[in-house]
Amino acid sequence: MSIRPVPSTTTIRDFNEFWATLRQMLPQLPVVPSPKNVAPAPQVSPLEEALQLSLQNIMEPARVACDAQTLQRYSTQYLYTGAEIPTSNMAAPAAITFPNSEQEIAQLLTWAEERELRILPWGGGGAPYQHKHPDATPYIVVDLRYLNRILEISPQHRWVRTQAGVTWTSLEESLAEHNLTTGQCSPWTTATVGGAVASHSISAKALHYGDLTRNLLAIKALCPAGPIRLSPHPGATDDRLLMLGAFGECGIITETTLRLHPAPQEQLNLVATRSSMGEALTALEILRSANVKFAAARIINTREHSLFSNPTSSSIRQLLRNLIGSTTTEFQLLLNLEGTREEVNSIRRQIEELLREKPLQLAGGDAHLCEPDYAHEALLLQQLREQRVLAHPLTAPVPWHNAAPFLRDWEEALHSILLTTGGHPGKTLTTLWATEDYANLRTLLLGFQPAGADSEPRSQIQDIQAVALAIKQRWHVEEPPTALVSHALSRAGEFLDPNSVMLRG
Ligand SMILES: Cc1cc2nc3c(=O)[nH]c(=O)nc-3n(C[C@H](O)[C@H](O)[C@H](O)COP(=O)(O)OP(=O)(O)OC[C@H]3O[C@@H](n4cnc5c(N)ncnc54)[C@H](O)[C@@H]3O)c2cc1C
């Protein structure tokens, strides 16, 4: 079905309508979801017993789980964070393995290949099913949480070698003892180094430290065809792309070597408040065109911030009441400055002059400058869904020159589709963070599910995604990889994984 955005004459301009409708509905909301709204537990088909026993011969039995509860926890349905929604219901894995050595992984790959089973690498579980296609063949999750050793730190040569299952949080804690940093900020507290490399995740502080292309010195991976080591060589094709951003399609990353930077002497967070996203974007554009050297820049919506910043609020009714009670939405441009004290002070003066705002407000800590705690947010979104509120995030990396018109088009179209599919006006909460080439937008949609819809409004979400895709295509956002790149990657896949053991996209 092709969905066209409703013409702009029907655009909802009164954003408060959503809150008014929600207020009317609030007294009718159940305190706990009614059983019919609770999604049924996903069906699981564990490995047959003979295969389980054979698997336990190559790995310690404690490193293999095939019980229904564990399999369900790793299924798409349980995991659904909103960042990904599989094209159709994908079967739950048939087994979960927890290897703690490369040898175990190598044995597992051979074992799976001989039995025509698929392998799905698993880092922190932020978005493990993104770009994976359903397939009838049973698959086994390889959870890398025990490959979590920092192998070597060289303060003198400024690099660190780690296993792939190390989380960014623990890596940064260890490096802080040496006054060093990778400069990579993770969007998810459980996010692993291997997961970020496999999905080519871009750090919020990439403006200052560069992205993984600049900071990843070497990758070691185990492929079904054997182990490989990848590192960039000047003038040669960058073979790291076989693993960097390949979503583990050709093998499992086991080790990475990352560049290190001196930890900043001074950090400062400034806040400039504006009444609309457009105004906040204009302020950011003034700073960007003057080439101001901030480490990270983010525009947040205070409404979204208030929705997710209080991890102690456990009652969804209370949460909704708080939201309805708050009046205006403000947009905050958050700027993170890093460097020596002199550098930070001079950048601060430059920003204050350019924005003609002196002194700019200071924000404490830098946690919310990197990323909000998405794990906590995912939990709250799930609670909202159980109350039949549509709560769905969308993302779009928009080239800077198109950022303002894209944003207007995007929000108008999303408001229209929320109204058409949900029968009542909805709300969009957009945040933005800056990379060198892109304004990365993340829009949380809050709206109503169609009357009589199932607990999971899949078709409504698919309609919304179709509209989002149409807008992205109109503004040339997220161009699909060129035919040449796809061809090159699939040829490499044939060589590194000739029998398609790895679960593909
Ligand atoms: C709500 C939300 C917000 C997000 N926001 C951002 C954002 O702002 N910026 C951004 O860049 N990303 C974002 N992401 C994507 C996600 O956070 C990143 O992909 C993250 O780095 C994944 O790390 P992980 O360790 O959780 O990996 P997982 O989610 O477990 O895995 C991610 C992918 O990598 C593969 N993989 C994992 N480990 C390995 C390995 N060792 N070897 C081979 N393949 C492997 C998996 O098969 C999967 O394809 C977001 C995700 C969510 C759910």
Domain ranges within the chain, ordered by starting residue: 8-25+264-474, 49-143, 150-263+487-496
pLDDT at 3: 38
* Pocket flag, ligand 1, residue 120 (CB < 6 Å): yes
CA–CA gap between residue 301 and residue 482 (Å, rounded): 35
pLDDT at 30: 44
What fold is seen in the domain 49-143?
A: 3.30.43
**Which atom of ligand 1 lies closest to the CA of 221?**
42
- What pLDDT, on a 0 to 100 scale, did the predictor assign at position 4? 40
Mutate to test the pocket of ligand 1, among 199, 298, 299, 395 (most ligand atoms within 8 A of CB): 199
What is the pLDDT at residue 35?
A: 43
Q: How far is the CA of 111 from the centre of ligand 1 (A)?
A: 26
Calculate how far, in angstroms, residue 187's C-alpha sits from the geometric centre of ligand 1.
9
- Alpha carbon of 482 to ligand 1 centroid (Å): 23
Distance (Å) from CA 85 to ligand 1 centroid: 14
- In this structure, the chain runs to a length of 505
Distance 126 CA to ligand 1 centre (A): 5
Domain 8-25+264-474 architecture: 3-Layer(aba) Sandwich (3.40)
What is the CATH code of the structural domain delimited by 150-263+487-496?
3.30.465.10
pLDDT attached to residue 324: 55
- The DSSP 8-state label assigned to residue 167 in this structure reads B
Distance (Å) from CA 201 to ligand 1 centroid: 7
Regions in the chain scoring below 50 on pLDDT: 1-15, 29-38, 82-88
Q: Ligand 1 within 6 A of 198 CB?
A: yes
pLDDT tens, residue by residue, 218-247: 999 999 999 999 998 888 888 898 899 889
Q: What is the pLDDT of residue 15?
A: 45
Exposure letters 65-93 (e unless 16+ CB within 10 A, then b) = bbeeebbbbbbbbebbbbbebbeeebbbb
Contact 261, 181 (CB under 8 A): yes
pLDDT for 426 equals 86
Is any atom of ligand 1 closer than 6 Å to the C-beta of 444? no
- For the CA atoms of 183, 184, 185, 187, what is the dihedral angle to 10 degrees? 170
